[in-house]
Amino acid sequence: MPDGSLTSFMAARAEEIVSACTSCGACVEACPVVPHAGISDAEPGAVAGGVLQVLRDGGRLDGPAAAWAHQCNGCGACIPACPEGVNPRNMVMLAAGKSAETHSDTPQLFRKMARAIRLMAAMQLAPADLARLLQPPKPRSVPVVFYVGCNAVRTPHLLFNAMYVLDAIEVDYEVLGGPAACCGIIHTKWEGETEAGGRVTDGTLKRFGDFQPERVLSWCPSCQLHIGETVEGYGEAAFAFEHVTGYLVEHEERLRGLYTTEVPMRVLLHAHEGMADLGENVARLLGDVPGLEIAGIAWESGYTCGGSGQDRSPGLKAERRKATYAMAEDKQVDALVSLYHGCHAQLSAGAETQGPPVVNFTDFLVRALGGEPREDLLSGWRMAGDWQALADRSMPSLEWNGVSVDSEWLASLLPDMLASREFAGGLDELARPR
């Protein structure tokens, strides 16, 4: 009997999929990760059937179905392939969450992630800026909530750049973000804690509602996938949930009129097939920046970089990344443009050894508006590579933000924190009580 909880909502969604899916295997045939997951010889219908069985009966994914779901990077190539109108990406996501109820490879992920985010943000931000991203503001009636999610707070310069643009077009908005306003994907999909995930999602939807917004503009593609697709329709939202890039495209004319400064560069945009509309939004926004020449779009697989996206299928990722760098070289670009925080962090790390410099799209918008983009401290830190020196240098900022840690302890964790290793089961130290 549905009781309005996320658990019963997801059970009903699973039931719908179980009744509609015929195990025809067309989604598996269309899926680009299959050759990289070692299941090319498996019968496609049986692979899909294995996923369906977990959705129907519970238990742990195993065999080729587990290999498929484990490497699913959210690219969405399966969606148009289904003749029954099922969203197979959604089917795999729900089955992964169900399987994690029996066994999670990343227990306590939320705890580790939340601590890593708070530490990294406190190292980079002054207290007022930190509070703006992590502390919910006092509710007031406002047309727009800018929902930055959790992990983007690790790369705060992108978010402040985005706010600079929202301020320029005079949007009345409030910011919600940080682990206290998580979308719930970590508990639900990664930890298999559906009930806890439901409480987290409920709490965040309620926080949105407290502002009586017409629109909630998300930044994070994982929040977009979770709230906008996996649990779409859950809760009675009186607001639209959409990506901030779409909102900026709507205000394209206004932005164009505000641009004062040429940005004479030739760039290659990095985007993901799993959220192609967002990549196209950014291409359009960059197309308006005076002086900026877009040499092309390097489409990669998945819906984002990182542990919940393209990294899940390392073989496919290596192929696509190689093609991106080859394209950058062939087109002789000055910079590779990142879209999301996960892409920015990963591509910036890669730029130390290959490829052109990485600049986030928000930098170009701020520059065109005559502003100075926020400094990308994280990339600078990575380049420096001296973790102890960085930890020592961060102590005043951490203390200023009321965070007390030992600098050697911090230095030992920095390489894994900057690489978000908790998504690969690492950073156990952050799960320990302190």
Query: How many angstroms separate the Cα of 288 from the Cα of each of 9, 76, 251, 258, 401?
Result: 42, 28, 12, 11, 39
Q: What does the alpha-carbon distance between residue 80 and residue 78 come to, in Å, rounded to a whole number?
A: 6
d(C-alpha 64, C-alpha 328), whole Å: 36
Q: How far is the CB of 314 from ligand SF4 (least distance, A)?
A: 13
What is the gyration radius of the CA atoms in the chain, in angstroms?
21
The residue within the footprint of ligand SF4, chosen from 50, 88, 97, 198 (CB under 6 A), is 88
Length of the chain equals: 434
DSSP state at residue 333: -
DSSP letters, 182-235, are: --SHIIIIIS--HHHHHHHHHHHHHHHHHT--SEEEE--HHHHHIIIIITTT-S
Q: For ligand SF4, which stretch binds (CB under 6 A), given 55-63, 88-96, 97-105, 187-195?
A: 88-96
The alpha carbon of 254 is separated from its chain's Cα centroid by a whole number of angstroms, namely 28
Q: How far is the CB of 40 from ligand SF4 (least distance, A)?
A: 13
- Quick one: 74 or 177, whose CB is closer to ligand SF4? 74
Site for ligand SF4 in 317-376 (CB under 6 A): none
Task: Map the footprint of ligand SF4 across residues 214-273, applying CB under 6 A.
Answer: none
3-state secondary structure of 300: strand
- Binding to ligand SF4 (CB under 6 A) within 91-130 occurs at 91-92
| Cβ distance to ligand SF4 smaller for residue 89 or 98 | 89
Among 89, 98, 243, 317, binds ligand SF4 (CB under 6 A): 89
- CB closer to ligand SF4 out of 81 and 431: 81
Of residues 18, 24, 142, 403, which one binds ligand SF4 by CB under 6 A?
Answer: 24
Judged by beta carbon, residue 26 or residue 343, the one nearer ligand SF4 is: 26
Residue 22 touching ligand SF4 (CB under 6 A): yes
**33 binds ligand SF4, rule: CB under 6 A:** yes
List of residues 6+ apart from 3 with CB closer than 8 A? none
13 or 157: CB nearest ligand SF4: 13
351: amino acid identity, one letter: A
Residue 263: half-sphere exposure toward Cβ, Cα within 13 Å: 27
Q: Could you tell me how many residues of this chain bind ligand SF4 (CB under 6 A)?
A: 26
Site string for ligand SF4, 36-55 (x = CB under 6 A): ------------x-------
Contact flag: residue 81 with ligand SF4 (CB under 6 A): yes
Binding segment (CB under 6 A) for ligand SF4, from list 27-35, 148-156, 211-219, 391-399? 27-35
Tokens encoding 301: 């697989």
Instruction: List the beta bridge partners of residue 299.
Output: 271
Residue 23 touches ligand SF4, criterion: CB under 6 A: yes
| Of positions 31, 275, 359, 391, contacts ligand SF4 by CB under 6 A | 31
Cα dihedral sign, 195-199-204-210: positive
- The residue (of 91 and 268) whose beta carbon lies closer to ligand SF4 is 91
**Residue 145: beta bridge partners?**
174, 216
Q: Which residue has the tokens 């306590």?
A: 108
Dihedral over Cα of 349, 355, 359, 361: its sign: negative
Contact window for ligand SF4 (CB under 6 A) among 26-34, 103-111, 112-120, 367-375: 26-34
Scanning 3-11, 71-79, 103-111, 244-252 for contacts with ligand SF4 by CB under 6 A, the matching segment is 71-79
Phi-psi region of 300 (alpha: psi -120 to 50; beta: other; left: phi over 0): beta
Is there binding between residue 308 and ligand SF4 (CB under 6 A)?
A: no
Question: Between 94 and 158, whose beta carbon lies closer to ligand SF4?
Answer: 94
Q: Which residues would be at the binding site for ligand SF4 (CB under 6 A)? A: 21-27, 30-31, 33, 48, 72-78, 81-82, 84, 86, 88-89, 91-92
